[in-house]
Amino acid sequence: MLNEEKVFKDPVHGYIYVNDSLIWDLINTREMQRLRRIRQLGTSYVTYPGGEHSRFSHSLGVYEVIRQIVQAFSRNAYEWPLEYNQLVMAAGLLHDIGHAPFSHALEKVIGLRHEVWTERIILNPSTEVHQVLKQFQQQFPFDVAAVINKTHPQKLVVSLVSGQLDADRLDYLMRDSVSTGVDYGKFDLARIIRVMRPLDGRIVVKRSGLHTVEAYLLARYFMYWQVYFHPVSRSAEVILKAILKRVKDLVAQGQGPEMTHPALNGLFLGALDLESYFALDDTVLFNAFNVWQHSPDPILRDLCCRFLDRRLFTYMEYPDQDPDFYEKMSVKVKSQGYDPAYYLAVDETGTVYYDYYLGAEDDKDKDSALFLWDDDGKRLIEMSRLSKPVNAIARERQAVRRIYFPREVQWNI
Ligand code: CA
């Protein structure tokens, strides 16, 4: 315990409280501080100018949500293993530690998986995070990694960090909503925490909390369409991917641009070690784009200018009824002087907002379902069986396909 509690002022939770010296020491590691230099929402800032918050503030928020949940569990003497409090708070704080800048684009083009790097950072003896965890308890780095990669035997602990109603989602929906100014992501977090119950190794919700949880699931649904799948933010991501692809292709031809930071060598030459990965942040990529906007390669130069100056690609919904549409567009784009490999992209978005199990009503083993706990304590009822709005969005995957290309391309001639 710390002699005096530390606080962070926070737009979502008011204050974030730290009483535990393990948590305080983890926050002060260089790996956690790096997350201040990585935007949580990638390219969303091109659409929502407020959407600039960092993965650091989100990570603190996830920790705070978990702290409030385990406190509520402890106050109420629910069947919650108190000895796991520090484990689950540390796992929540560290769950995003392996994220790269613009993770989703980078993962697709370069083939990095942030989960792999999270585990490497936590388990590698050279990192400060590892040292702090190990000093606390010899086994702790492995326990924390197991909670984050969902292999820890204590399922209750895992589900607070990743599940249908986990601290990660609870924080990011609210935080992304507050910072973008999009109002749909709001719900009553304090009441959600009040109606959560640990029961038989899973988190369930008191039946009287039905509408509170509905509001949370609908918030998630709205945020996907209003923020995460926003076509303009996706356009910036399409250009970002084209830049990465161009650099990769140039490197393969022995014509690679100047690597403005040693970490970029690792990124594009495929020999990324922990130290290089650690160095990657938004500033390294922005600086590279800044330099490459003067590159002798006309395609790289143009794409970097577009990204920095927000001259984004236009888009339209992909006409699925026309099987040859991509080919036709490809010919048009090419005839107007653009290489379709970099200037024409199909982007598909869509997710499942709430997944439930179609088996027996009381199948308690399925992780992906949310269960409501009847006040008589005798039975658990799967959420979508009681809630019409949740039933309406459950298992639905409303995918949208769009095709992106430069605004200047005359496509309807
Ligand atoms: Ca997260």
Judged against a pLDDT cut of 60, whether residue 260 lies above it is answered with: yes
- The pLDDT tens digits for 90-123 are 999 999 999 999 988 888 777 778 889 999 999 9
**Distance from the alpha carbon of residue 252 to the mean position of ligand 1, in angstroms:** 34
Q: Please state the rounded mean pLDDT for residues 394-402.
A: 81
**Distance from the alpha carbon of residue 312 to the mean position of ligand 1, in angstroms:** 27
- The pLDDT tens digits for 274-284 are 999 999 999 99
Judged against a pLDDT cut of 50, whether residue 360 lies above it is answered with: no
CATH code for the domain of 283: 1.20.1250.30
CATH code for the domain of 21: 1.10.3210.10
Query: Which pLDDT band, with edges at 50, 70 and 90, does 8 fall under?
Result: very high
Vertex 238: Cα angle to 303 and 177 (nearest 5): 120
Q: Is 173 in the same domain as 237? A: no
**Distance from the alpha carbon of residue 97 to the mean position of ligand 1, in angstroms:** 9
| Dist. CA 272–CA 265, nearest whole Å | 8
**Distance from the alpha carbon of residue 78 to the mean position of ligand 1, in angstroms:** 27
- The pLDDT tens digits for 327-358 are 999 999 999 999 999 999 999 987 777 776 54
Q: Would you state the structure tokens that stand for residue 331, as one six-digit string? A: 């010919």
Q: Is 16 in the same domain as 122? A: yes
**Distance from the alpha carbon of residue 87 to the mean position of ligand 1, in angstroms:** 17
- The pLDDT tens digits for 53-87 are 999 999 999 999 999 999 999 998 788 888 999 99
Q: Is 238 in the same domain as 169? A: no
Q: Is 45 in the same domain as 176? A: yes
Give a yes or no: residue 169 inside a domain. yes
Q: Is 159 in the same domain as 305? A: no
**Distance from the alpha carbon of residue 247 to the mean position of ligand 1, in angstroms:** 29
Give a yes or no: residue 343 inside a domain. no
Q: Is 63 in the same domain as 141? A: yes
**Distance from the alpha carbon of residue 141 to the mean position of ligand 1, in angstroms:** 19
**Distance from the alpha carbon of residue 165 to the mean position of ligand 1, in angstroms:** 13
Domain count, the chain: 2
**Distance from the alpha carbon of residue 161 to the mean position of ligand 1, in angstroms:** 9
Give a yes or no: residue 390 inside a domain. no
Judged against a pLDDT cut of 70, whether residue 365 lies above it is answered with: no
**Distance from the alpha carbon of residue 58 to the mean position of ligand 1, in angstroms:** 7
**Distance from the alpha carbon of residue 162 to the mean position of ligand 1, in angstroms:** 9
Judged against a pLDDT cut of 80, whether residue 262 lies above it is answered with: yes
User: Euclidean distance between the first and final Cα of the chain, in Å?
Assistant: 70
**Distance from the alpha carbon of residue 339 to the mean position of ligand 1, in angstroms:** 36
Tell me, rounded to whole angstroms, the distance of Cα 56 from its chain centroid: 12
Q: Is 32 in the same domain as 169? A: yes
Neighbours of ion ligand 1 (CB under 5 A): 96, 168
**Distance from the alpha carbon of residue 295 to the mean position of ligand 1, in angstroms:** 35
**Distance from the alpha carbon of residue 283 to the mean position of ligand 1, in angstroms:** 20
Give a yes or no: residue 387 inside a domain. no
**Distance from the alpha carbon of residue 173 to the mean position of ligand 1, in angstroms:** 10
Lowest mean pLDDT among 169-173, 273-277, 404-408: 273-277
Last residue of a domain, one of 312, 340, 375: 312
DSSP 3-state percent helix, strand, coil across the chain (nearest 5) = 55, 10, 35
| Dist. CA 92–CA 269, nearest whole Å | 33
Q: Please state the rounded mean pLDDT for residues 203-230.
A: 93
Q: Which domain holds residue 236?
A: 230-312
- The pLDDT tens digits for 18-58 are 999 999 999 999 999 999 999 999 999 999 999 999 999 99
Task: Map residue 8 onto helix, strand or coil.
Answer: strand
What does 345-396 look like in DSSP terms, one character per residue?
EEEEE--BSB----S-TT-TT-TT--EEE-TTSS-EEEHHHH-HHHHHHBT-
Last residue of a domain, one of 181, 211, 242: 181
Q: What pLDDT shows up at residue 370? A: 86
**Distance from the alpha carbon of residue 138 to the mean position of ligand 1, in angstroms:** 26
Give a yes or no: residue 391 inside a domain. no
Query: Which pLDDT band, with edges at 50, 70 and 90, does 181 fall under?
Result: very high
**Distance from the alpha carbon of residue 232 to the mean position of ligand 1, in angstroms:** 22
